[in-house]
Structure 1
Amino acid sequence: MRVLLAACAAFLAKRLRRSGAGPVPVLPVLLAAALAVALAQTVVVPALPLFQRRFHVSQPDAAWLLTAFMLASAVVTPVAGRLGDLLGHRRVMAACLACLVAGSVLAAYADHASWYAGTLAGRALQGCAGGVFPSAFGLARQETPPERLSGVISALSAMFGVGGALGIAVAGPLVDAAGTVWLFVTLAGLAGVALVGALGMGSVTGVRPETASPARPRTGLDLTGALLLAAALVAVLLGITQGRVWGWASAPTLGLVGGGLLLGGCFLAVELRSAAPLVDPRLLRGRARAGTHAATLVISVAMFSAATLIPQFAQTPGSSGYGFGASPTVTGLLLVPMALCMVLAAPLSAWVSARRDSRTAFRIGAALAAATLAALGAAHGSLAVFAVTGALLGLAYGFAFASLGGLVIGAVRADQTGAATGINTILRTVGGAVGSQLAAVVVTTSAAPGTGGLPAESGYTTAFLASAVTAVGALAVSYVLPGPGGERGPVRRRAADVSS
């Protein structure tokens, strides 16, 4: 399937070049690819209650349609980052986009057939497109002039959050108008356009010929590390998901979580000994690197918890005493302010980063997220409250995520760009997966016997306040990061690489 899709896209790209339509600019292709992947990640969120009823599964099981994407992305991203550094980022980006097209087609077919397992498999295949992000960062660093690099990196970083917010906002109206199948059909079309652009980009633009990095030999992939990482993530998240059903102190729950942590330790041990590690432990050392990655993980837990909670709360029937019984369309419109404010916050974050430093921009986002989530936990009695707090969360998202790319790239050499941004993307997706599952578990645990599994309002209050505390944790971690004197921004780092 992927070979066929790639062949079709290559044919279309060839026809585009022959038609005299002109060159395909690099930056629009990178932004389009990043947008398609970010949309795919969250587009199912407003429809999770519909999927739950359609497939006759529990709320945590329905949340796996979000988690499966994130898990696959977390495993594939470091592989894609390393392959991009070794073999060329454009090729890797095209392969990841082909996975997004194929996964969208599979999910659309399975959804039409009311086949939960097939839809879940399609979502996992879509998640393989997570490798687009390190590839995009690598191409941006390779092709962007030094004076423009900071803005391009901020735009790509913000696209992770902007696309996620847009996915939530547009999904509701699309589901009401055409059904859940069209979520995946639309993604297939967007990914196909980005794939054509990625394939045409190498021939009709100034993208340099792609060869292996001279700083690294061509070595085999660390498949053992990839398998250990996948097993560790699945075990921990499965234990969290099923803990309420099996019992938090039961042998299966403790075995899965403990086994996942043990596998994670084995993964680190393997990476330390590997000549060609999937995740280079050196990229996790030092205040700048370790602090940035830790802040990324924590803020992602907080942000994706909120993104999961808001649609669920809004669509809870009003008979429960606290929900609004909102349709997917109303839910999507409710989240439009979040998407718009995220778009506005991205250039503001770049402006703050350029005049102060990237950690200041991150702190603004983390502090705003903490305050907004705390307010939402205390007062959530009307749609207007959700619209206002959603807008503030959009600003928080934009500031926080737009600053991360600059922090990561400013701490590594040019030949480490793909691997370093890959690690950071892993932590975003892992944090998102953990946050969405924890939010679902906290809410469902509040359900009282005899209520048909309907959560209590206190469950949402607890979950929102827990997300606020998590955001405070991200703010605290940011103070580990070195100050402006010890931070080498992307532009200065690029200049240092060139001079060396």
Structure 2
Amino acid sequence: MESSPPAARPGGVVGILAFAGIVAALTQTLVVPLIAQLPTLFDTSASNASWVITATLLAAAVSTPVAGRLGDMYGKRRMLLVSLVPLILGSVVCALSSSVVPMIAGRGLQGLGMGVVPLGISLLRDVVPAEKLGPSIAIMSASMGVGGALGLPFAAAIAENTSWRVLFWVVAALALAVGALIRTLVPADRPAGRSGSFDLPGAIGLGSALIALLLAVSKGADWGWGSPTTLALFAAALVLLPAWGWWELRLRDPLVDLRVTARPQVLMTNTASVLVGFAMYAQSLVVPQLLQIPEATGYGLGQSMLAMGLWMAPAGLMMMAMSPVGAKLSAAKGPKVTLAVGSLLIAAGYGLSVPLIGSGSPWSLLIVTLVCNSGVGFAYGAMPALIMSAVPQSETASANSFNALMRSIGTSFAAAVIGVVLARMTTDFGGFPLASENGFRVAMLIGCGVGLAAAVVAALIPVRTTKAPLQPPAASSPAPETAPEAAPAAKA
């Protein structure tokens, strides 16, 4: 067992873990302002440059469930520290890159560190008193929105005024600071009885299936949805996923306990997570484009990259502002209700956008993003609470990591679907095709429909009420004497 630092106040622990989540989210949005410049910076094609984003997506999808399983086996705090290592190394590699290949490699390494958020949420169950768990989960979940909100204007400002390499040096320094804070101030958890050997074949099988699926989804528009490569990848995913499931069900210590994930509460929450991930990401694809499209189109707002980031930033901060409200609602009515309300708020935001597109004012889009992200803040705080109230403590990190993976799959499908809609519904502008006003409206209507579907799924989640918090196993760390079995008792 690793040595534990002196006990820290729960608020300090939550703040440190939320800081870790902000850094992880910042890493994901870091290259958005650079997308158009990457082909010139690295003397490569736009198709090759797109792998700078795809590599992070694939690496995160593969590593997140692995990090969760290892967190349950060896300790979540320990795996948090381990996950920060590739994040730091990847940032350094990117900062030193002079061609696209090492840049892609560095972004892949950064993706390996994306298990930080689900591990941090899972660690809260072990080191935060029961009465503070709900608000702590909400704050930790909201950190992703804050990181994304700050990432766009921060990256745009640096990219416009200094070298793009500074972006990656800053992230490396922030990740080092996070590691030092966790090592010094966050108490160590004790692995909650999940021993056994690591399921390497299961990790390889799930990783292969996810790479095939997400690669087909993320690159299908470039390669052609009917191309042999895309169809072969979809076929491989259809073969590998059932084979992986069969393998997992045979093992005593699987990578992901499918019997636990098949429990109705967990299964329905994960289904809602896919839908919420889709709905969350769709508006983040549409609104920045509307803000930057030339005013001469009649519906674009002609904002610069930096101005676009500043208009988007309040929405991410709204997630953090609404997290205490969502936690109070979960405490009073249960996280199931909070998830349903959050999904309805997301749908309402999309519904507001339809008449506001073409209004000629960025304030109208700001309102849309504020409403949508208020709903995302509610939903992202509720989903881990629902998961942790339905799984044993020995499965906390694995189950939360699998839930994070479901959200990631939702965002990947959002990128593909919204990308197809905007690519097919275009208008000619000075000889160049641009997504049309109707295309943006259709995209927002799709987001509204998915948000409503998430609300329906949330309403159907069969929640079991937890009678009392679980006493944690004795540990060498000076963690609180009681750790909750679940989030605040949910009312069915």
1:347 equivalent to 2:324? Answer: yes
Identity of aligned residues (%): 32
Partner residue in 2 for 1:407: 386
The 8 Å contact of residues 175 and 328 in structure 1, kept in 2 or not, is answered as: no
Rounded to whole Å, the distance in 2 between the matches of 1:154 and 1:489 is 22
1:463 equivalent to 2:443? Answer: yes
Secondary structure of the residue aligned to 1:335 is helix
Alignment of 1:94-493 (within 5 A): 94-110=81-97, 113=98, 115-201=99-185, 207-208=187-188, 212-213=191-192, 215-219=193-197, 221-381=198-358, 382=360, 383-447=362-426, 451-482=431-462, 486-488=464-466, 491=469
Change (3 A) 1:371 1:28: closer
Rounded to whole Å, the distance in 1 between the matches of 2:216 and 2:85 is 32
Partner residue in 1 for 2:489: none
Rounded to whole Å, the distance in 1 between the matches of 2:226 and 2:146 is 39
Amino acid at match of 2:448: A
Change (3 A) 1:346 1:419: same
Query: C-alpha deviations, 1:130-170, integer Å up to 9, x for none?
Result: 22123213322221122222222222222233323332343
Change (3 A) 1:43 1:437: farther
Change (3 A) 1:468 1:178: farther
Query: C-alpha deviations, 1:428-465, integer Å up to 9, x for none?
Result: 22222332343333323335799445433333332222
Secondary structure of the residue aligned to 1:130 is coil
Amino acid at match of 1:99: P
Query: C-alpha deviations, 1:235-270, integer Å up to 9, x for none?
Result: 223323443444433433322222222222222222
Q: More deviation in 435-444 or 329-338?
A: 435-444
Amino acid at match of 2:214: L
1:42 equivalent to 2:24? Answer: no
The 8 Å contact of residues 104 and 188 in structure 1, kept in 2 or not, is answered as: yes
Shift of 1:223: 2.3
Partner residue in 2 for 1:11: none
Rounded to whole Å, the distance in 1 between the matches of 2:273 and 2:352 is 23
1:32 equivalent to 2:19? Answer: yes
Amino acid at match of 2:349: T
Q: Which one has the bigger helix percentage?
A: 1
Secondary structure of the residue aligned to 1:302 is helix
Query: C-alpha deviations, 1:330-385, integer Å up to 9, x for none?
Result: 01111122023212111110011111111111112111111212332443223222
Query: C-alpha deviations, 1:24-82, integer Å up to 9, x for none?
Result: 95333222212211221223334434446655778776665444323222211111111
- TM-score normalised by the chain length of structure 2: 0.86
Change (3 A) 1:372 1:28: closer
Change (3 A) 1:367 1:492: farther
Change (3 A) 1:399 1:57: farther
The 8 Å contact of residues 62 and 206 in structure 2, kept in 1 or not, is answered as: yes
Change (3 A) 1:432 1:245: closer
Amino acid at match of 2:437: E
The 8 Å contact of residues 21 and 117 in structure 2, kept in 1 or not, is answered as: yes
Unaligned runs of 5+ in 1: 1-15
Amino acid at match of 1:442: V
- TM-score normalised by the chain length of structure 1: 0.84
Unaligned runs of 5+ in 2: 472-482, 487-492
Change (3 A) 1:137 1:342: closer
Change (3 A) 1:68 1:435: farther
Secondary structure of the residue aligned to 1:326 is coil
Amino acid at match of 2:413: V
The 8 Å contact of residues 410 and 490 in structure 1, kept in 2 or not, is answered as: no
Rounded to whole Å, the distance in 2 between the matches of 1:24 and 1:478 is 30
The 8 Å contact of residues 86 and 216 in structure 1, kept in 2 or not, is answered as: yes
Rounded to whole Å, the distance in 1 between the matches of 2:49 and 2:420 is 12
Partner residue in 1 for 2:59: 72
The 8 Å contact of residues 225 and 278 in structure 1, kept in 2 or not, is answered as: yes
Rounded to whole Å, the distance in 1 between the matches of 2:250 and 2:324 is 41
